[in-house]
Amino acid sequence: MIPSMLEDKADRLESFVKSKLIEGHGLVLSFVDSATGKPFRADEFGPAVDRMRHPPALNTEDFGSYFAYENCGMATGAWLASQVCRYVVTGDEEALASARSAAAALFALYEKSQLVADGFFSKFHEGKISREISSDQCVYAMWALDRYSALASADEKTAIARMAGGMARFWWDRGYKHPYRERDFEWQWPLNRFPPLLWMAWTHTGDGKFLEEYHRLARLPEVRELPPFQQSTRALWRSSQPDGEAHWPFKAANAGQGGLSLEPLLCLNAPHRDLWLSQLEETLVSALPDVRADGLGRGHFVYREDTGEIHDVEVPRHASGHPNPVWEAKYYISSARTGAMPCLYARALMAGECHLPSLGLAEKAWEILGKIDLPDMREKIDPLGHLPDNQKWMTRCLSGDAVVNWIWAYWLGQQQLHPRS
């Protein structure tokens, strides 16, 4: 794919973000109805909806609001990062204005979140601060603000330091534990997520305690070893298959998230660089077979290590006909594709190019960007109708995360091709 051929698509997708995805508070919506470009209505979700994706802590039946705002912190961070890249490449004042607006939305969301706890960063839902939080939302927002800090005013830099220190301290004080969705207990979040938050807290506040905790985490075995959802699955899934074959679950999304966690540490030359670099390579390379020749993400499949051949498989099903188990298997149904997650993966590949130039990651990223367009950026594409009833809504669910990550990947690539002096 020739990058210059994607300019019109990039302009079109940016127009879609500005006209359809940025809501009244300046945040980027994470999911909209692909047919209308608007959030789903509350009455469109009946008892068949997959309620495992609906946190009971929100105490609402408005699934439309929930799905629209589920990842708005992440999506707004990705949009901010994309506009910073665009400004660096082009010097376009419109890009700088978009970046300032996105940063202001994140600052406002953080300040409102302090009503829950110091350092809290809420999953926002149509004007309502919830008690839901996730570590990936924090990393996305903070990494985008770190990239923006070079362009920020003095007051904005103060706000960035306040957020960086507050978020890192929130998680640190709680031993990196917090309930999540249906887990109403103090769930242990993967510790690999937190070194970048601690490192950015150190760089923006200068508080040496964050640096000490960063080094402590980096020495822990559970941080030095990639967690199972980021490791290569060749060994993890081999036991259920004949010799030489291995199950691979859909990993491009995990590679995107894992790459995001590692990128701040690599770009900012944080200590333990060799460790982070080896993890980045494993995370990105192990997910390469997850993307089909048409650019869409695969479902569940088997990989033959001796020949490199891939063939799709179906997962076991309950007597009811639903996959077993529903919560995990919905990502692995082989006939169901996704155009959303490859966009996050493309961004991770593009970011990894400067750290692992011999692997040709940018070439693969440009290929994905060339093949995926707005109609593809749905959570699920199910031509054979194999999704169970409570997941069919996902075929209408256009991912705002995918759109802004596509744009972010595009401008990261342009920045590599045309660095400004």
- What pLDDT digit, counting tens, does each position of 156-212 carry? 999 999 999 999 999 999 999 998 766 667 888 889 899 999 999 999 999 999 999
Q: Is the pLDDT assigned to residue 373 strictly greater than 70?
A: yes
pLDDT in tens, 29-45: 999 999 989 888 776 66
pLDDT tens for each residue of 307-333: 767 766 655 454 455 444 433 444 445
Domains of the chain (ranges, CATH numbers): 3-417 (1.50.10.10)
**Structure token pair of residue 421:** 């002096």
Beta bridge partners of residue 129, listed in sequence order: 124
* 379 has a pLDDT exceeding 90: no
Q: Round to the nearest angstrom and report the end-to-end CA distance of the chain.
A: 26
Q: What DSSP string runs through 132-168?
A: ---HHHHHHHHHHHHHHGGG--HHHHHHHHHHHHHHH
The predicted pLDDT at position 242 comes to 43
Cα 63 to chain centroid distance, Å, stands at 21
The answer to whether the CB of 346 falls within 8 A of the CB of 369 is yes
Which is higher by pLDDT, 126 or 231?
A: 126
338 bridge partner residues:
297
Model confidence band, residue 49 (pLDDT cutoffs 50, 70, 90): low
- Once rounded to an integer, what is the mean pLDDT over residues 245-260? 73
CB 315 within 8 A of CB 332: yes
My answer on whether omega of the bond before 325 falls inside 30° of 0, hence cis, is yes
Least confident of 20-29, 151-160, 246-255: 246-255
Sequence-separated (6 or more) residues with CB below 8 Å from residue 114? 120, 166
**CA dihedral angle for residue 293, residue 296, residue 302, residue 303, rounded to 10 degrees:** 40
